[in-house]
């Protein structure tokens, strides 16, 4: 599994790996596919890394090494090129396996004294949502408001709500229950988790998991496993276009 | 020397683990996708999901790994071997507080801190300070603090607890290791690094750099441009050196995250005591290898099933020791040091969490 090659050839193999990975990163940034893999805050760093990689590769190639022979490991090289094989042959694919159990957990925490908090230090979109009679969860404030809805559900009881999301439900769920969710990315695709609401909807069983829906309904509070959480009494699930970005990225 | 980073020795059989481990993990993921009735219900493409997780971990780590190896190479090229020693002394009295300040100012994860820490060790920075910097920087830097505040807007005690443990445990671990080393007389860097880099004044911590011994870093008469070029080339060599380890780490982490949804750990939490919950959370942090900038959001999801203190164990133990950074340490540090460090982190975090439970969060029941 190992043989002797010149040190220059070995250096070029190293440079090829860096070039390959940098090209993949450039492709992701240019096509916008990077959003499927990492949080947008990484995009400038990725672009900077690609530039730095180019300089590194040039320096590695220009550098004159000794002409002596060196033994080199094919296994190490194969290992290096496995990510490149994945990178240039597959499309990003995220499917959540867990159904609605994780939906609450991603957004919720132990609740504070409900409906009694001052608004000091609370973001303006959250204050607006608390005061408004109808809550619209757009992409920019989806997680921020959803988080407050779980932390302080009493503020939202009985309000109208609208959001765009996908449907999750288990085959074992009652026919009138499902969840309306978005996937939350805080760092990279490996930490994606669904966030959203349990919904009561008479035709829940007919909804298609692969489609996007505009969900409209009324927020009701329910006690599940000892926790008071907001659920949506849905009036309608209308098919909708895929949002501009599939995932929700909390601002950090 | 160049042969270092592709291996100068005849390939030992133990190196087959680099193929066998990822292959076994991929096969196990495939097996799960076909054999588990409950998961098959969802008709998932586990291999595609594994690939996405695997690549996303590598892509996210790419800039930080480059930054870490670049900074490591800059220190190697431009900082004389004994400059740090003159500046900080051999005692941890100045070096440890200085390393905490550096950790706070270094807004990256462990992907970058490991190579830099190894370089600092090579520059004769006291081990206590090296360990403190390496363990604390993924936890107490501003990006991580902000993400923790954002994930727990109504639990500021989580933020302060994380910072406190993120300083206390690295300092204690560093001091204990320094004490241990002073008795044993053994260094923390792997012997290969020490032997290879004892050859010049400025040295080189990578152990796999390809510069020839007649082309030393100590050539400070070289032009600035040529030194920059050498630094960049060295960055590439060190990046190539550490990449296989982070690739294996990403494969392991992606396999676990694909096969075991995060809420699997949550299902073990209910009805157990704080001590057991803490152990579960520390185990989850080790296995999942989540980046410290995002682990608070994962941890938030555990609040349904776990008490606050074990949640803090998740966000403090993980950045200090997990599968990914253990593998990343392998080419730089002695195995005995890594084992000792991992053991100390687990023990110290566990004790800290127990004390935290009793003093801040109202008991350990």
At B199 the three-state DSSP class reads: coil
> Do A79 and A137 share a domain, yes or no?
no
A243: domain CATH number is 2.40.50.200
pLDDT on residue A72: 67
Mutate to test the interface with B, among A23, A26, A188 (most CBs of B within 10 A): A188
Is there a contact between A10 and B2 if contact means CB atoms under 8 Å apart? yes
- The residues, ordered by sequence, that sit 6+ positions from A231 with a Cβ below 8 Å of its Cβ are A197, A198, A199, A200, A219, A220, A221, A222
Own/partner pairs for A141-148, CB < 8 Å, 24+ apart? Answer: A142/A182, A142/A195, A142/A248, A143/A107, A143/A184, A143/A195, A143/A248, A143/A250, A144/A250, A144/A251, A146/A107, A146/A195, A146/A196, A146/A197, A147/A107, A147/B153, A148/A122
> Do A68 and A107 share a domain, yes or no?
no
- The residues, ordered by sequence, that sit 6+ positions from B225 with a Cβ below 8 Å of its Cβ are none
Which residues pair with residue B189 across a beta bridge? B333
DSSP letter assigned to residue A153: G
Mutate to test the interface with A, among B52, B225, B237 (most CBs of A within 10 A): B52
> Do A61 and A112 share a domain, yes or no?
no
pLDDT in tens, chain B (365 residues): 333 433 333 434 555 555 555 555 555 555 554 444 443 444 446 778 888 889 998 998 888 889 889 998 998 888 887 777 777 777 788 889 999 998 888 777 777 889 999 988 888 888 999 999 999 999 998 888 988 888 887 778 899 999 999 999 999 999 999 988 877 767 788 776 554 444 433 344 444 444 444 444 545 667 888 889 989 988 998 898 888 888 998 888 888 878 776 666 666 666 678 899 899 999 999 988 888 877 888 887 787 778 889 999 999 999 999 998 899 899 899 998 999 999 999 999 999 999 999 888 776 55
Which residue matches tokens 């800039």? B63
d(Cα B126, Cα B121) in Å, to the nearest integer?
7
Q: B197 — contact with chain A (CB < 8 Å)?
A: no
**A109-113, A116-120, A181-185, B57-61: range with lowest mean pLDDT:** A109-113
Residues of A whose CB is below 8 A from B250: 83
Q: B91 — contact with chain A (CB < 8 Å)?
A: no
* Rounded mean pLDDT, A134-151: 87
The closest CB to that of B261, out of A21, A36, A97, belongs to A97
pLDDT on residue A188: 85
Is there a contact between B150 and A251 if contact means CB atoms under 8 Å apart? yes
pLDDT on residue B39: 39
The closest CB to that of B55, out of A55, A86, A191, belongs to A86
| Residue B15 φ then ψ, to 5° | -70, -15
Report the chain A residue with the minimal C-alpha distance to residue B243.
Answer: A80
Residues of B whose CB is below 8 A from A34: 59
Q: Which of B16, B31, B62, B29 is nearest to B251 (CA)?
A: B29
Q: Half-sphere exposure of residue A56, counting CA atoms within 13 Å on the CB side?
A: 28
**Does A115 fall in a domain?**
yes
d(Cα B264, Cα B288) in Å, to the nearest integer?
12
Report the chain A residue with the minimal C-alpha distance to residue B68.
Answer: A49
Q: B263 — contact with chain A (CB < 8 Å)?
A: yes
Domain stop point among A45, A61, A89: A89
Q: Which of A70-79, A243-252, B16-25 has the highest mean pLDDT?
A: A243-252
> Do A107 and A49 share a domain, yes or no?
no
Domain stop point among A89, A121, A150: A89
> Do A84 and A137 share a domain, yes or no?
no
Please answer whether residues B224 and A160 qualify as being in contact, where contact means their C-beta atoms are separated by less than 8 angstroms.
no
> Do A124 and A208 share a domain, yes or no?
yes
Task: Give percent above pLDDT 90 in chain A.
Answer: 30
Q: Which two tokens stand for residue B347?
A: 């023990």
d(Cα A127, Cα A148) in Å, to the nearest integer?
10
Nearest-Cα distance to chain B for A30, in Å, is: 15
Task: Give percent above pLDDT 70 in chain A.
Answer: 83
Q: Which of B128, B97, B193 is nearest to B341 (CA)?
A: B128
Q: Can you give the residue ranges of every domain in chain B? A: 46-259+323-333
Q: B58 — contact with chain A (CB < 8 Å)?
A: yes
> Do A126 and A227 share a domain, yes or no?
yes
Residues of B whose CB is below 8 A from A15: 236
Please answer whether residues B111 and B146 qualify as being in contact, where contact means their C-beta atoms are separated by less than 8 angstroms.
no
d(Cα A188, Cα B185) in Å, to the nearest integer?
42
Q: B226 — contact with chain A (CB < 8 Å)?
A: no
The closest CB to that of B240, out of A17, A34, A91, belongs to A17
Which residue matches tokens 């860096």? A18
Is there a contact between A7 and B7 if contact means CB atoms under 8 Å apart? no
For residue range A228-247, what is the model confidence (pLDDT) as tens digits? 889 999 999 999 998 888 88
Residues of A whose CB is below 8 A from B2: 7-8, 10-11, 65, 70
Q: B248 — contact with chain A (CB < 8 Å)?
A: yes
pLDDT band at A151 (very low <50, low <70, confident <90, very high): confident
The closest CB to that of B55, out of A2, A37, A62, belongs to A37
Chain B, residues 14-43, CB within 8 A of chain A, namely 15-16, 18-19, 22, 39, 41-42
Q: B243 — contact with chain A (CB < 8 Å)?
A: yes
> Do A144 and A200 share a domain, yes or no?
yes
The closest CB to that of A108, out of B22, B39, B304, belongs to B304
Residue A88 clears pLDDT 50, i.e. is over it:
yes
Please answer whether residues B27 and A69 qualify as being in contact, where contact means their C-beta atoms are separated by less than 8 angstroms.
no
Q: B3 — contact with chain A (CB < 8 Å)?
A: yes
Residues of B whose CB is below 8 A from A60: 232-233, 236-237
The closest CB to that of A76, out of B7, B229, B251, belongs to B7
The closest CB to that of B11, out of A2, A28, A227, belongs to A2
**Does A11 fall in a domain?**
yes
* Rounded mean pLDDT, A110-134: 65
pLDDT on residue B318: 92
Number of domains comprising chain A: 2
Q: B53 — contact with chain A (CB < 8 Å)?
A: yes
**Does A95 fall in a domain?**
no
Q: B343 — contact with chain A (CB < 8 Å)?
A: no
d(Cα B320, Cα B341) in Å, to the nearest integer?
10
- The residues, ordered by sequence, that sit 6+ positions from B219 with a Cβ below 8 Å of its Cβ are none
Q: Which two tokens stand for residue A115?
A: 């409906």
Is there a contact between B247 and A82 if contact means CB atoms under 8 Å apart? yes
Q: B270 — contact with chain A (CB < 8 Å)?
A: no
Task: Look over chain A and give the mean of its residue pLDDT values, rounded to a whole number.
Answer: 81
d(Cα B132, Cα B345) in Å, to the nearest integer?
11
> Do A25 and A73 share a domain, yes or no?
yes
pLDDT on residue B268: 66
Report the chain B residue with the minimal C-alpha distance to residue A74.
Answer: B6
> Do A120 and A241 share a domain, yes or no?
yes
> Do A126 and A209 share a domain, yes or no?
yes
Q: How many CB pairs under 8 A join A and B?
A: 244
- The residues, ordered by sequence, that sit 6+ positions from B345 with a Cβ below 8 Å of its Cβ are B135, B169, B173, B317, B320, B321
> Do A19 and A129 share a domain, yes or no?
no
| Residue range(s) defining the domain that contains residue A166 | 101-248
Chain B, residues 62-81, CB within 8 A of chain A, namely 62-64, 66, 70
Q: How many CB atoms lie within 10 A of CB B156?
A: 11
d(Cα B333, Cα A77) in Å, to the nearest integer?
22
The closest CB to that of B266, out of A10, A99, A105, belongs to A105
């Amino acid at each position: 599994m190992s043989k002797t090659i010149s040190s220059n050839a070995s250096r070029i193999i190293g440079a090829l790996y860096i070039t390959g990975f940098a090209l993949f990163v450039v492709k992701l940034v240019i096509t916008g596919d990077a959003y499927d893999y990492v949080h947008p805050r990484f995009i400038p760093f990725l672009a900077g890394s690609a530039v730095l990689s180019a300089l590194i590769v040039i320096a590695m190639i220009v550098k004159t090494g000794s002409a002596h022979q060196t033994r080199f490991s094919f296994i190490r090289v194969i290992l290096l090129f496995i990510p490149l094989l994945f990178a240039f042959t597959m499309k990003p694919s995220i499917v959540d396996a867990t159904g609605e159990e994780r939906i609450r957990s991603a957004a919720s925490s132990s609740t504070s004294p409900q409906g009694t908090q001052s608004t000091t230090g609370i973001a303006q979109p959250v204050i607006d949502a608390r005061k408004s009679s109808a809550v619209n969860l757009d992409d920019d404030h989806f997680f921020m408001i959803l988080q407050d809805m779980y932390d302080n559900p009493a503020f939202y009881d009985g309000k109208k709500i609208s959001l765009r999301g996908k449907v999750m439900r288990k085959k074992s769920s009652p026919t009138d229950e499902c969840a309306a969710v978005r996937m939350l990315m805080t760092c990279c695709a490996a930490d994606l988790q669904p966030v959203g609401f349990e919904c009561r909807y008479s035709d829940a069983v007919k909804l298609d998991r692969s489609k996007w829906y505009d969900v409209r309904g009324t927020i009701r509070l329910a006690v599940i496993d000892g926790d008071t959480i907001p659920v949506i009494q849905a009036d309608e699930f209308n098919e909708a276009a895929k949002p501009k970005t599939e995932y929700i990225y909390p601002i950090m | 020397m160049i042969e270092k980073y592709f291996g100068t020795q005849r390939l030992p059989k133990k190196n087959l683990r680099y193929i066998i481990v990822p292959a076994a993990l991929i096969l196990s993921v495939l097996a799960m996708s076909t054999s588990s009735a409950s998961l098959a219900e969802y008709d998932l493409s586990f291999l595609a999901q594994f690939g996405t997780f695997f690549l996303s971990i590598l892509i996210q780590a790419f800039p930080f790994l480059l930054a870490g190896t670049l900074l490591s190479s800059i220190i190697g090229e431009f900082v004389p071997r004994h400059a740090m020693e003159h500046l900080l002394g051999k005692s941890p009295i100045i070096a440890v507080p200085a390393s905490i300040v550096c950790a706070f100012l270094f807004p990256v994860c462990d992907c970058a801190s490991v190579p830099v820490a190894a370089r600092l060790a090579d520059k004769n920075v006291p081990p206590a300070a090296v360990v403190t910097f390496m363990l604390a920087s993924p936890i107490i830097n501003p990006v991580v603090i902000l993400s923790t505040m954002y994930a727990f807007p109504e639990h500021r005690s989580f933020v302060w607890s994380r910072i406190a443990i993120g300083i206390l445990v690295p300092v204690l671990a560093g001091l204990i290791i320094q004490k241990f080393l002073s008795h044993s007389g053994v260094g923390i860097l792997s012997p290969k690094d020490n032997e290879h880099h004892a050859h010049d004044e400025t040295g080189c911590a990578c152990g796999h750099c390809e510069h020839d011994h007649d082309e030393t870093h100590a050539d400070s008469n070289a032009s600035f441009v040529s030194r920059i070029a050498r630094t960049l080339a060295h960055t590439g060599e060190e990046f190539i050196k550490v990449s296989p380890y982070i690739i294996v780490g990403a494969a392991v982490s992606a396999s676990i995250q694909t096969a075991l949804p995060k809420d699997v750990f949550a299902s073990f939490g209910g009805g157990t005591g704080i001590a057991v919950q803490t152990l579960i959370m520390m185990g989850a942090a080790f296995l999942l290898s989540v980046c410290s900038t995002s682990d608070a959001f994962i941890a938030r999801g555990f609040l349904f099933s776990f008490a606050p203190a074990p949640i803090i164990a998740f966000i403090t133990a993980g950045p200090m020791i997990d599968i990914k950074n253990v593998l990343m340490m392998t080419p730089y540090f002695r195995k005995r040091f890594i084992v000792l460090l991992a053991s100390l982190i687990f023990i110290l975090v566990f004790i800290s969490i127990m004390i935290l439970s009793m003093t801040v969060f109202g008991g350990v029941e």
